[in-house]
Every structure is written in structure tokens, then in C-alpha cells.
Amino acid sequence: MKVLIVHAHPEPKSFTAALRDQAVATLEAQGHEVQVSDLYKMNWNPVASDADFSNRENPEYLVYALEQRLGVKSQSLAADIQAELDKLLWADLLILNFPIFWFSAPAMLKGWIDRVLVSGICYGGKRFYDQGGLAGKKALVTVTLGGREHMFGEGAIHGPLEDMLRPILRGTLAYVGFDVLEPFVAWHVPYISEEARQQFLVDYSQRLQHLSDDQPLVFPKLAQFDDKLYPLTTNG
């Protein structure tokens, strides 16, 4: 398996980085090939802008997705985007590895999503969800957070973590066609003992060794909707 880990944490010695390293070691020991995009280290530019296109469909008015499509066709995407896109297309498994900032990804990683998941390849027209451009690939979200596990779930103060992660799990990864696996979550990280951290690393390694047994989360399929994307059960 070919694996791309996209890592975004402002502290190089963070526990999130230890999870990244654990993933590299575990996956390589199993014979998989691994590439890492360490966004802070790369000084990744997270800002989607007109500077991403040297060759504009419409130089007067920027519609970002439209310019992505032309950029793909004319092979004129910005070099940093193209390099990440190449890794993404190479990979069978994408791991997004990050600390939860405001119940979602740090801006650094959000900007990787905004710029790299280009229209014309990753999605476009009716190519989304199970018909998405990256169908056949798997994705795993690995996160660290400050909250305790009992603060998440039905009836808990923040509700289910998967609901907070919905724009990433469903709106991004499932949207472009990934089989999205259940997130791996390290809870309460800033406050736990070294032993508890080590246990998360062991659990993560175990999880990665048996990833092929995981059932992906369930999301909509285009066949459940009509041509105008109304649900077939009520309109078909």
C-alpha cells in the first residue's frame, strides 16, 4: 500500500508528531511505502488565491474551482499544489494527522484541502461521494484533542465528535470518493501522563496493523438520488 500522511502541527515535538512517526514506523514495518507532507515544516501556503494560476480562464473575475479545472487541463497549477496532488494521486491511503483546533482542522491543513483537492480531478459535475474522483482510495483522520472522551457522544456536552468532524469526514473526504475509516482519537492529550500517551501510540499501531479489516463509515451514494439530486425514495 502507498500511504500519504499529511501532518499539521505548529510544535515539531508534539504528541501529534509522535503519532505521525508511529504511523510511519508501523506502516513501513508492514512493507508499505510512506510519504509525509509536514505542512508547518514545508511552510505550506494555505491561502487559496489567484496566485495559484499562472494561466487564467478569466483574468477579470476569479472563480477558484473553474480555474482549478483549467489549471488541471493546461497543467498550469502552482508547483506546490501540483506536488501535493501528485502525492495524493499516488497514495492508496491518506492519513490526515492534526490537533483539533476549534473542532476542526488547523487553517494550515484546511488550506491544503482548499488548494490540493482540485476540481476536475478530485470531483466535478456528478463526480462526488461514491462517484468522486478519488474513489477506491481510503482515508483516515487521526486527531489529538484537549477534551475528555465523556465530553463527546450522544447527550454529551459537545455531541458526537464525528458530528463535529462532519465537514471533513463527509463534506471533504467522502465527497471526493474516499472510503473514510473511523477516526483515531487521542483524548485529553495536554493533560495525560507519559504512560497514557504511550498507550495511545500502542493502540494506534495496532489499529494501523489491522486497517484492512476496518469497515468504512457509511455516506450517501449517488444512485440514491435522481438526476437533479433529489432523493429517489421520496421523489423517484
The footprint of a copy of itself (CB under 8 A) covers: 10-11, 13-14, 40, 46-50, 61-65, 101-108, 110-111, 113-114, 117, 129, 146, 148, 150-151, 155-159, 163-168, 170-172, 175, 190, 220, 225, 228-231, 233-234
Least distance from a copy of itself to the Cβ atom of residue 188, Å:
12
* Residues 19/200, Cβ–Cβ less than 8 Å: yes
- Least separation in angstroms between CB 96 and a copy of itself: 12
Give the nearer residue to a copy of itself in terms of CB position, either 11 or 28: 11
Residue number, 43 or 215, with CB nearest to a copy of itself: 43
User: Cα-atom radius of gyration of the chain, to the nearest Å?
Assistant: 19
CB of 209 to a copy of itself, least distance (A): 30
118 contacts 71 by C-beta, under 8 angstroms: yes
Taking the least distance from each CB to a copy of itself, the nearer of 70 and 107 is 107
Contact present, 222 and 128 (Cβ < 8 Å) = yes
| Cβ 199 to a copy of itself shortest distance, Å | 21
Closest CB to a copy of itself among residues 26, 71: 71
Closest CA to 200 of 16, 10, 34, 25: 16
**Neighbour-count burial of 182, counting CB atoms closer than 10 A to its CB (0-12 exposed, 13-18 middle, 19+ buried):** middle
Identity of the amino acid at 198: Q
d(Cα 214, Cα 208) in Å, to the nearest integer?
10
Q: Which is nearer to a copy of itself, 52 or 207 (CB)?
A: 52
